[in-house]
Amino acid sequence: MSARRGRLTVLVPLLALGLAGAPGLSRGETVEATETFEGTHSLVGSYLAGRIAKSQNDAAEAAEFYRNALIHDPENELLLEQAFQIEATRGDWPRAFKLAEDLVGVQKQHRMAQLALALRDFKAGAWRKSEEHFKSAGSGPIGELTSAMAVAWVELAQNDISGALARLDLPKQAEWAQFFLRYHRALIADIAGRRAEARASYEKVYGQDARTLRIALAFARHEAYTGDRKRALSIINEHIEKSQGDGHPLLRSLRAAVQSGKKIDPIVTTPSDGMAEVFYGLGEALIGEGAVGVGVLYMQMALFVEPDHQFALAALASAYEGNKQYADAINTYNRIPKTSPLATAVEIRKAFNLNSLDRVDEARATLSALLDETSKTQATETKTEAAAPAEPAKPELASLADDEVLRRGDRGDSVQKLQEALQALGYDIGTADGKFGDGTRRAVMAFQKKNDLKADGVVGPETFRAILSGGAAASGTKTAKADPALDEPLPLTVSDRLEILDALGNILRARKMYAEAIPYYDQALALVPKPERRHWVYFYARGTSYERLKNWSAAEADLEKALSLYPDQPLILNYLGYSWIDQGRKLKEGMAHIEKAVALKPDDGYIVDSLGWAHYMQGNFADAVRYLERAVELKPDDPVLNDHLGDALWRVGREREARYQWDQALSLKPEPEDEAKIKKKLESGLTGVDAPAAISGSGKQAAKSGENEQK
């Protein structure tokens, strides 16, 4: 899904405005200890244990410890605040609401507590109380923006359209805030039927940021909803063309729905949907700007209002992944329906999380099931087609030109096919004679009415497509779903299969199971008859696997092919150039490749290390020290980089510093074979070692960098 999936881009970093931290966290965290420390059952012990659990992203443990602490001091403001934040972040709302009430009792303007109580009252229909809480949460730029948008939806819930729109009129807000205000103005205007006002707001928002998936979906759905399907398709296609592959599955699903003539609703249809959108949008922006804690809290608030908000679920799961809370991520992904167009991307992400939990067999089974299900479906369809008797051909309608219409008095093949299609749906048109008479007009009007189209009896491209797709039969049963962009799964595309195979290969490659990984890359490349730039990753991954298996001829061929597809990709330049130098071949060309990789990615510690070690291997020890020191600055927690720097320092006579770096490398838990070598160097230095000789295992850095990028 990645599905990083589309977020509302904030034009000014929120962190620069001091919005990232949760209220109260800037104060000195002190608990007045009135008892002797007695382990985690005491006040101080429970508090400290809670802080440690929280720092380790173990929300369940942290919540339990803070509950214990509150037993000893139930009115402690700091404990209330920490406990509330933990319970709300976990989505345990009954406990969070009770703590929020206690917290506002001692800190009236606590923003998050007030927001929680506001949402509780909003969901209960207590509009006045909800509005009061939202207003109390309106301190600071992010609080003011949240409050304004939330109160607008409270006003709309009371059918006060003008009041709702007025709440969004904040001319003094910064441009990044106006982005959100315009977006919600468009959503409210859509629900209120003010189509011109909605379109104007969508135009401004889309012009401000056309890259964001959510905005593209909302604008396209608005255009389809108001009847301009051509414009809707233009927006969808523009967004897809800017992406690699087949485009986001939700866009592809929406495109299919628009093309088939199905009824398309706005992306938000109720005040509850709109309220969830407030917290989803701001939460996604906060997470994107690094304020993950507050962003997750906002995301949980969105899900409290609308538990099935798929974008919020995906964003929350992604945030859990970033915090290495892999089990929580899997549980959150499991809340997204299997019928969603996001289902394939969700299963891929679940597989990576299972792998991170060392459940490799489950990860492989999850990904293999996606491929197996597709194969079974295709085989079943083929078998059914071969065995089943031919069905009567359904009437096919040629597409109408954008400016073409059929109306009473028209004649021809298109009219006759229109009549046949209406008859197939159960409408009485009399005789399908190719003459557009009163009976045909009445049938068309009945169809249009049932499908929420303008019931004028005139068949334009939109009505024509709707009849072609089946629309609503005369019996009144509608085949179109309320939300076709979210309710129907998509068949796997070539890009989907490539992503699944790549995930399988990468999981195995990261676990050094190179021989098992290669067949998956073989299958992936078999799906690509004419490789493009975006396919470099499969050649690169297979090439690095061959190199680890010491099949250099195959590795070199793949790496050079990858580089021909993407000449400025630093990972390929680094790996190929380093491999040549490691083998004592093409030294000049290899150095040029690595130097170019460093120029393209100067802050990658592994690539900078490659350049430093390449100098070392050629006896250029002074240059080696310069680059290796920089590499360790960039990646101080890597044992191999520290080991390399120690070797280079020894060669230039800085023996005390060299021993320090080797000691540092030893403390960082190197591989067992490297640990033994480092210990030996600490004992006797590099005495007796040939100066420019490559150290066994020195090729690790190029590969390691590549693996980090590919996961």
User: In angstroms, rounded to a whole number, what is the distance separating the alpha carbons of residues 47 and 66?
Assistant: 6
Phi, psi (degrees; rounded to nearest 5) at 158:
-100, 15
Provide the CA 495 distance to its chain's centre, in angstroms. Answer: 17
**Segments of the chain with pLDDT less than 50:** 1-40, 47, 66, 375-398, 473, 475-482, 484-485, 690-711
**What pLDDT score does 263 carry?**
87
Give the bridge partners for 38, in sequence order: 40
State the residue for tokens 């179109």. Answer: 480
**What pLDDT score does 664 carry?**
96
Phi, psi (degrees; rounded to nearest 5) at 406:
-115, 135
Contacts of residue 464, defined as CB under 8 A and 6 or more positions apart, other chains included, come to 261, 397, 399, 400, 406, 418
Give the bridge partners for 435, in sequence order: 411
**What pLDDT score does 603 carry?**
95
Give residue 124's identity as a one-letter amino acid code. A
Whole-number CA gyration radius for the chain: 31
Contacts of residue 396, defined as CB under 8 A and 6 or more positions apart, other chains included, come to 417
**What pLDDT score does 607 carry?**
96
Phi, psi (degrees; rounded to nearest 5) at 42:
-90, 170
DSSP per position, 537-555: HHHHHHHHHHHHTT-HHHH
State the residue for tokens 């929120």. Answer: 14
Contacts of residue 416, defined as CB under 8 A and 6 or more positions apart, other chains included, come to 432, 433, 434
**What pLDDT score does 554 carry?**
97
User: In angstroms, rounded to a whole number, what is the distance separating the alpha carbons of residues 61 and 72?
Assistant: 18
**What pLDDT score does 30 carry?**
38
DSSP per position, 181-248: HHHHHHHHHHHHT-HHHHHHHHHHHHHH-S--HHHHHHHHHHHHHTT-HHHHHHHHHHHHHTSSTT--
Closest CA to 427 of 405, 450, 411: 450
Neighbours of 512 (CB within 10 A): 12
User: In angstroms, rounded to a whole number, what is the distance separating the alpha carbons of residues 96 and 117?
Assistant: 9
User: In angstroms, rounded to a whole number, what is the distance separating the alpha carbons of residues 238 and 251?
Assistant: 11
User: In angstroms, rounded to a whole number, what is the distance separating the alpha carbons of residues 221 and 348?
Assistant: 27
Contacts of residue 447, defined as CB under 8 A and 6 or more positions apart, other chains included, come to 422, 425, 427, 453, 463, 466, 467, 471, 472
**What pLDDT score does 338 carry?**
87
Q: Give the tokens for residue 373.
A: 């299900």
206, 35 Cβ separation under 8 angstroms: no
Closest CA to 269 of 485, 482, 7: 482
448, 455 Cβ separation under 8 angstroms: yes
**What pLDDT score does 688 carry?**
52
User: In angstroms, rounded to a whole number, what is the distance separating the alpha carbons of residues 462 and 616?
Assistant: 69
**First-residue to last-residue Cα distance in the chain:** 14
336, 2 Cβ separation under 8 angstroms: no
Neighbours of 373 (CB within 10 A): 13
Q: Which whole-number Å values give the CA distances from 155 to 122, 125, 189, in the listed order?
A: 11, 12, 13
Give residue 206's identity as a one-letter amino acid code. Y
Helix (H/G/I), strand (E/B), else coil: 478: strand
254, 237 Cβ separation under 8 angstroms: no
Contacts of residue 158, defined as CB under 8 A and 6 or more positions apart, other chains included, come to 127
